Amino acid sequence: MAELNALDRRDEDSQTICLDYSDQARQSLLTSLRMSIVVWGLIPAVISAFGLFNLLISIISHNENDRLNDWALISIGLIIPTLVLIAIRNLSKAHLLLDKNGLEIPPDLLSTRLKAQYIPWHSINKIAFHQSEPDKQKKIESPLKSDQIVLYLKQQQPVAIKLDRLDIASCEKLLVCLDVFAGGVERESLEVLSNLIKTHLRDQANQSLAALARGNVLSHTELWEDELKRRFRAAAFMPLEPGVIMRNGSLTVLRQLALGGLSAVYLGQLENNSLVVLKESVVPDDAKVELKDKAREMFAREASLLIKLQHPNIVPVLDYFVENSRSYLLLDYISGQDLRQYVKQSGRVREGLVLQWAHQIAVIIDYLHKQEPPIIHRDLTPDNLVLRPDGTIVAIDFGAANEFIGNATGTFVGKQSYISPEQFRGKACLQSDIYAFGGTLYYLLTGEDPEALSQSEPAEIIEVSPQLNDLVKCCTDLELETRIKSASEIIESLQRISQEKVL
């Protein structure tokens, strides 16, 4: 199965997490250096050229008196730009990098740390959250202004991670990484930070509602996007460690493939050494008991339906089980590249190939929707469609677990650009998959994710046949009454478009 990308990663193989960590002093100096290229680039180049010209003249005239000065002028033209370019390169490294071995903190001009500092996890004695004094202005500017996470090292001075250089989402990811990679290190007051983040996110949602009540001039799209950010935000929880034995000793977790929301995806190995994918879902402890029970009942019912599916373009679901209050889907491992990875590496897809893939995807949807009872995929996106080496498309990672979480928490876990308005409201239906199908075609044709909760038209960005553009537009209609009703209609439309292109 293609690896999902729920967290930012610098290198997929090394599972490095990359978090933006920029400060104002660094950005100001970097901007100044880039804007003053005439001073440190062009002028030294002219001086160097002048020195080189004089040097050639002195060589021709056999005059050795001024050669030292000429060489000095040439050196100025070479050394100054080189030093400035090195400085720009170092200043551009404004990311926290974290992996299973340690973390790297970028240079910090304000603390006179001019080089990046790498800290192995085993060298840390304690991780503590240091909160600054309460300040009303701080709450307005930034909820974590002047707050720090301090790493107390065994043989060095403590190192501070300044939280006002991270946005809220990155702070939450940092907490997850510390749990995953440094779970055995002593920690102090990190739960206080976690509560601050949750409070800030709740306040953001309340402010949006208050703005709407006051009649502030906010567009419909802006209000939806603000709500989407709140409902689709990543939530921190402790994923499984590699080497964990599960399912009565028959399953070993090899490594994490993806992490996001209240779920994670792992690569696992069965007793017969075959590779599998494990999708984990967690209902928060503070959810109501009746909601937990209802969600798990729904998850078990849908998982049992998925196990019965037999289609060459659908990943086989091997099993589902509950362990330590967490629910799991066990799926076959599918090798290949997902369609998002394909587009990122190869660019947008030509229309003829999009039509071929669209037909395969529509057949998958048609098969699911004609089951008794019908099955809604709920997460049909470029990330969950894998291209096999033989050119066939396979649908993976059903959204059963997302609905499971949604029933218990009132939130969704998913990719907002591909979710229809009715699914966003918690009322997914068969046509919700058709909306996601249209959004996926838009992505393949344009190389860009569609705008959330909107009707997509690829012709607004690229040159595409009117027939295919109309198909995408009809699939992503916001109203169920005017959206394409079934996958069978899509298949018929694709066949007409393909015939017209041949003619």
What one-character-per-residue DSSP string does 261-329 give? TTEEEEEEEETTS-EEEEEEEE--TTS-HHHHHHHHHHHHHHHHHHHT---TTBPPEEEEEEETTEEEE
pLDDT in tens, 81-109: 777 777 666 666 677 888 778 888 887 65
> The tokens of 133 are what?
């004094």
408-415 average pLDDT score: 48
**What is the pLDDT, as a whole number, of residue 487?**
97
CA angle 245, 251, 253 (to 5 degrees): 65
Answer yes or no: do 84 and 124 share one domain.
no
Token pair 């040439």: residue: 74
439 contact partners, CB below 8 Å, separation of at least 6: 381, 417, 418, 449, 450, 456, 475, 476
For the cut 90, the answer to whether the pLDDT of residue 170 exceeds it is no
For the cut 80, the answer to whether the pLDDT of residue 43 exceeds it is no
Answer yes or no: do 381 and 495 share one domain.
yes
Answer yes or no: do 282 and 352 share one domain.
yes
pTM above 0.85, yes or no: no
Chain centroid to CA 269: 26
- Helices 24-35 and 67-91, packing angle to 10 deg: 140
Residue 451 three-state SS: coil
Is there a domain that residue 102 lies in?
Answer: no
Answer yes or no: do 49 and 125 share one domain.
no
Answer yes or no: do 36 and 135 share one domain.
no
pLDDT band for 360, please (50, 70, 90 cuts).
very high
**What is the pLDDT, as a whole number, of residue 355?**
96
**What is the pLDDT, as a whole number, of residue 495?**
94
For the cut 60, the answer to whether the pLDDT of residue 112 exceeds it is no
185, with CB counted inside 10 A (0-12, 13-18, 19+), is middle
Angstrom distance (rounded) from CA 306 to CA 317: 6
For the cut 80, the answer to whether the pLDDT of residue 71 exceeds it is no
Angstrom distance (rounded) from CA 71 to CA 54: 9
Answer yes or no: do 274 and 322 share one domain.
yes
- Helices 351-369 and 487-502, packing angle to 10 deg: 160
CA–CA distance from 222 to each of 211, 393, 442 (Å)?
12, 35, 22
Answer yes or no: do 385 and 443 share one domain.
yes
For the cut 90, the answer to whether the pLDDT of residue 471 exceeds it is yes
191 contact partners, CB below 8 Å, separation of at least 6: none
Answer yes or no: do 195 and 51 share one domain.
no
Reference 266, options 303, 284, 241; nearest CA is 241
For the chain, what is the radius of gyration of the CA atoms? Answer: 28
Please count the structural domains in the chain: 3
Is there a domain that residue 99 lies in?
Answer: no
Is there a domain that residue 56 lies in?
Answer: yes
**What is the pLDDT, as a whole number, of residue 138?**
44
pLDDT band for 484, please (50, 70, 90 cuts).
very high
361-383 average pLDDT score: 92
Chain centroid to CA 351: 27
**What is the pLDDT, as a whole number, of residue 233?**
45
467-481 average pLDDT score: 96
**What is the pLDDT, as a whole number, of residue 231?**
46
Residue with more model confidence, 153 or 66: 153
Q: What is the CATH number of the domain that holds 465?
A: 1.10.510.10
The domain boundary, picked from 201, 218, 235, lies at 218
pLDDT band for 154, please (50, 70, 90 cuts).
confident
Reference 446, options 421, 489, 417, 419; nearest CA is 417
Instruction: Using CA atoms of 489, 493, 498, 503 in order, give the dihedral in degrees to the nearest 10.
Output: 130
Instruction: Report the chain's mean pLDDT, rounded to a whole number.
Output: 78
Percent of the chain with pLDDT over 90: 28
Domain of 77, in residue numbers: 24-91
Is there a domain that residue 235 lies in?
Answer: no
Answer yes or no: do 459 and 355 share one domain.
yes
Is there a domain that residue 179 lies in?
Answer: yes
209-217 average pLDDT score: 48
Angstrom distance (rounded) from CA 446 to CA 426: 29
234 contact partners, CB below 8 Å, separation of at least 6: 6, 7, 169, 172, 173, 176, 260, 261
> The tokens of 226 are what?
């603000």
Angstrom distance (rounded) from CA 433 to CA 476: 10
**What is the pLDDT, as a whole number, of residue 115?**
73
**What is the pLDDT, as a whole number, of residue 223?**
47
How many helices (H) and strands (E) the chain has is answered by 16, 17
Which residues are bridge partners to 128 per DSSP? 150, 188
Q: Are 126 and 152 in contact (CB under 8 A)?
A: yes
Answer yes or no: do 471 and 356 share one domain.
yes
Reference 88, options 159, 36, 160; nearest CA is 36
For the cut 70, the answer to whether the pLDDT of residue 219 exceeds it is no
Is there a domain that residue 261 lies in?
Answer: yes
Q: Identify the top-confidence range among 25-39, 394-408, 435-449.
A: 435-449
Instruction: Using CA atoms of 179, 184, 189, 195 in order, give the dihedral in degrees to the nearest 10.
Output: 20
Residue with more model confidence, 172 or 265: 265
The DSSP annotation for 326-351 comes to EEEEEEE---SEEHHHHHHHH-SPPH
**What is the pLDDT, as a whole number, of residue 29?**
65
36-53 average pLDDT score: 74
Answer yes or no: do 186 and 286 share one domain.
no
pLDDT band for 188, please (50, 70, 90 cuts).
confident
pLDDT in tens, 290-332: 777 777 787 788 788 889 999 999 999 999 999 987 889 999 9
Can you say whether the dihedral through the CA atoms of 473, 478, 482, 485 is positive or negative?
A: positive
CA angle 138, 143, 149 (to 5 degrees): 110
Task: Give the range among 148-157, 162-171, 218-227 with minimum mean pLDDT.
Answer: 218-227
Q: Are 151 and 127 in contact (CB under 8 A)?
A: yes
Answer yes or no: do 389 and 330 share one domain.
yes
